[in-house]
């Protein structure tokens, strides 16, 4: 016997038609499988204690927290300006929340850096005086991956941390071999179903932009939580938006891989199932679209060429050709950049080795030609990227506006709109991308001039006389010919190619260049710093007196030697003590010194034809020739002169 409760339920169900049950079953079967639990952690570090603060991370964190909450995430934990200890505690607590979650997302905005190939995120209390301090005062990217690892379906880490690192400029290197990279390093997740998104490709830096939020975060908030949109396609749209808003100078990148099924952060809107009596008509364009999206996900020449071999005509074939042009332009730009770098290194080597002028002139010409080729390849790459991005945007808008009908109804085989002129013309690029504002471009050029040592002033966006002189200095030492009247994208690209200091370091008087710093000149004891900024030995008084005394002593010695060899006095024959004959001369040792004629010393003796006798008082001896009244014998001799 049937119980009364079952009879009532049976009567209730009998009131619905069989078509209702069929429609309900189809509606349930057609719904995609989404995570039952989604958790997110948002970190924003702006107020750094030991370096200048950042303006955007707190704003970016607030925007992403609101985005996740509006998307219906079960848990959204938002934290700002955390110290190292606080960050580790928050990551530990979030790992506990992610244990029973299907999707776990961590968003970080702030400073980050790469040391020896490992990426580190920097808390607000870090000092980083030495490169080894990063191991104690920062936390590695691997620590965040550990926090999201318990999630079952998707582990997503988003880093808006590729800014210029202010710690690297003052950080001391404990080992010369330890490298500190620009931006963040490339990473390959080891866990399955893990994606790591950078705001800028590995090795490059991101821009904060002129608005309240960074270009990367602004694009994330618009695309990441689109209902039913695969997360990989969402990051593709983010990349396109950032390239367009930054004038192709910042390219976000995603590392990691997922399976073949679509993974969306937000479920697609429910769409009523078609009536059972209306069979669907197969649309071959759906298969072509899936093949194209698979080739686009692989993203290399081989995949696009294989797609064109299978589908040589139609709408998606035209899109694939644009993607091939973009890939070829990027490869050509990489080759041209490498060639320009090699030519610049060769020119610098010849200049440092003092090579012949002909060789240096040839190296200069090669470097200029390589630089011109690099700039042309850069413009071609930008134009190709902009065209491909615009075509993908048009396709994405169709899919987003009508996610069911648009992909399969794209039976129009006409190609997407393409510029008629060649890709290397600037008008095409201007039509597709407005580029950054002039103040932002000026700040970027000034920042690069500071990096290569040509500008000491701050990058304030004002292209004044100081900035023009700094670009003139860059032209002089880099042997370029950039227009100094205004900050241009060509100047920015050219300066970015220089990996080290270009302008020599100019120090004030009393200082000398020591690498990238000025150090005080310390002279040794007894020396002083002269007007030529060189140490010069001081001339002391004792040394001068000693030299004068030596000079006077030398003059007296020379006078004595002269007196010894003066002509001797004449002595008569038979004089006592001498036997020299008539007209002879007394030996020099027997001749008294003229200076001894005064005081109590020996008296002078004068000899003539009358004999020898002492010189009379008040008289002195003087040598006279015969013409002057001296003796006739020998042509002259000493005579007594009395006043």
Packing angle, helices 215-223 and 57-70, rounded to 10:
0
Q: Which range is least confidently modeled, 352-366, 381-395, 535-549?
A: 535-549
Delimit the domains of the chain by residue range: 27-271, 285-434, 437-504, 550-642
Handedness of CA 76, 79, 84, 90 (dihedral sign): negative
What mean pLDDT is predicted for residues 528-548? 71
At 159, is the secondary structure helix, strand, or coil? Answer: strand
Give dist(CA 502, CA 284) in Å, integer: 59
Would the pLDDT of 612 be above 70? yes
pLDDT in the model for residue 155 = 93
Task: Report the relative pairing of strands 75-80 and 38-44 from DSSP bridges.
Answer: parallel
pLDDT in the model for residue 105 = 96
- Bigger pLDDT: 304 vs 567: 304
DSSP string, 280-313: PPP-HHHHHHHHHHHHHHH-SHHHHHHHHHH--S
Q: Which residues contact 434 (CB under 8 A, 6 or more apart)?
A: 244, 247
What mean pLDDT is predicted for residues 137-159? 92
Q: Which CATH class is domain 27-271?
A: alpha beta
What mean pLDDT is predicted for residues 65-86? 93
pLDDT in the model for residue 346 = 84
pLDDT in the model for residue 195 = 93
* CA nearest to 514, candidates 501, 505, 523, 522: 505
Residue with tokens 């059972």: 276
At 466-519, the pLDDT tens digits run 999 999 989 999 888 889 988 888 888 889 888 788 898 877 788 887 766 788
At 222-272, the pLDDT tens digits run 999 999 899 999 999 999 999 998 888 889 999 988 888 888 888 887 666
According to CATH, the topology of domain 437-504 is Muramoyl-pentapeptide Carboxypeptidase; domain 1 (1.10.101)
Q: 412 — phi, psi (to 5°)?
A: -70, 115
Task: Show the CA angle centred on residue 616, arms to residues 615 and 620, nearest 5°.
Answer: 60
State which H helix or E strand residue 89 sits in: helix 84-97
At 435-461, the pLDDT tens digits run 567 888 898 899 999 888 898 888 888
pLDDT in the model for residue 413 = 41
Q: What's the token pair of residue 434? A: 């407005």
Would the pLDDT of 129 be above 50? yes
pLDDT in the model for residue 275 = 59
Q: Which residues contact 188 (CB under 8 A, 6 or more apart)?
A: 255, 256
- Bigger pLDDT: 227 vs 421: 227
Using 50, 70 and 90 to split pLDDT, how confident is the model at 464? very high
Would the pLDDT of 67 be above 90? yes
Residue with tokens 């001894």: 596
């Amino acid at each position: 016997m049937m119980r009364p409760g079952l009879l009532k339920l049976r009567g209730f169900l009998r009131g619905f038609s069989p078509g209702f049950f069929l429609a309900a079953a189809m509606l349930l079967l057609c719904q995609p499988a989404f995570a039952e639990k989604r958790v997110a952690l948002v970190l924003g570090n702006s107020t750094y204690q030991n370096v200048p603060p950042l303006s955007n991370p707190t704003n970016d964190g607030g925007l992403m927290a609101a985005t996740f909450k509006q998307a219906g995430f079960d848990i959204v934990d938002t934290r700002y300006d955390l110290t190292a200890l606080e960050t580790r505690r928050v990551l530990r607590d979030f790992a506990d929340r992610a244990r029973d979650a299907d999707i776990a997302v961590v968003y970080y905005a702030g400073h980050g850096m790469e040391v020896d190939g490992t990426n580190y995120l920097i808390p607000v209390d870090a000092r980083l005086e030495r490169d080894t301090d990063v191991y104690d005062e920062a936390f590695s990217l691997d620590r965040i991956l550990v926090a999201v690892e318990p999630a079952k379906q998707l582990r997503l880490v988003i880093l808006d941390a590729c800014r210029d690192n202010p710690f690297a400029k003052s950080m001391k290197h404990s080992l010369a071999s330890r490298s500190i990279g620009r931006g963040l390093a490339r990473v390959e997740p080891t866990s399955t179903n893990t994606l790591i998104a950078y705001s800028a490709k590995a090795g490059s830096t991101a821009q904060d932009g002129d608005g309240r939020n960074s270009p990367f975060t602004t694009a994330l908030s618009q695309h990441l939580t689109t209902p039913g949109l695969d997360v990989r396609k969402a990051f593709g749209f983010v990349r396109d938006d950032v390239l367009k808003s930054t004038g192709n100078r910042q390219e976000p990148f995603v590392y990691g891989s997922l399976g073949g099924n679509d993974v969306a952060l937000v479920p697609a809107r429910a769409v009523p199932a078609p009536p059972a009596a209306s069979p669907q008509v197969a649309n071959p364009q759906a298969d072509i679209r899936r093949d194209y999206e698979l080739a686009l996900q692989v993203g290399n020449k081989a995949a696009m060429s294989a797609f064109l071999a299978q589908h040589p005509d139609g709408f998606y074939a035209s899109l694939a050709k644009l993607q091939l042009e973009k890939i070829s332009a990027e490869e050509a730009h990489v080759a041209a950049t490498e060639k320009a770098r090699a030519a610049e290194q060769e020119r610098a080597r010849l200049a440092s080795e003092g090579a012949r002028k002909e060789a240096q002139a040839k190296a200069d010409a090669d470097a200029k030609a390589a630089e011109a080729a690099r700039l042309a390849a850069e413009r071609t790459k930008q134009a190709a990227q902009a065209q491909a991005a615009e075509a993908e945007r048009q396709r994405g808008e169709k899919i987003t506006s009508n996610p069911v009908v648009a992909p399969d109804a794209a039976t129009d085989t006409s190609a997407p709109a393409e510029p008629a002129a060649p890709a290397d013309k600037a008008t095409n690029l201007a039509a597709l991308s407005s580029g950054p504002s002039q103040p932002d471009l000026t700040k970027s050029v000034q920042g690069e001039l500071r990096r290569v040592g040509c500008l000491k002033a701050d990058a304030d966006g004002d292209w004044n006389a100081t900035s023009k002189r700094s670009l003139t200095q860059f032209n002089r030492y880099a042997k370029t010919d950039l227009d100094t009247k205004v900050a241009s994208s060509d100047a920015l690209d050219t300066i970015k190619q220089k990996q080290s200091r270009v302008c020599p370091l100019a120090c004030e008087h009393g200082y000398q260049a020591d690498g990238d710093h000025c150090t005080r000149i310390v002279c040794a004891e007894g020396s002083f710093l002269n007007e030529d900024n060189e140490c010069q030995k001081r001339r002391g008084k004792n040394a001068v007196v000693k030299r004068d005394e030596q000079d006077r002593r030398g003059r007296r010695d020379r006078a004595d030697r002269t007196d010894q060899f003066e002509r001797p006095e004449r002595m008569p024959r038979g004089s006592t003590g001498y036997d020299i004959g008539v007209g002879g001369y007394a030996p020099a040792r027997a001749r008294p010194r003229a200076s001894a004629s005064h005081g109590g010393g020996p008296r002078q003796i004068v000899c003539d034809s009358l004999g020898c006798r002492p010189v009379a008082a008040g008289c002195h001896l003087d040598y006279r020739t015969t013409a002057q009244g001296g003796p006739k014998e020998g042509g002259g001799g000493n005579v007594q002169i009395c006043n």
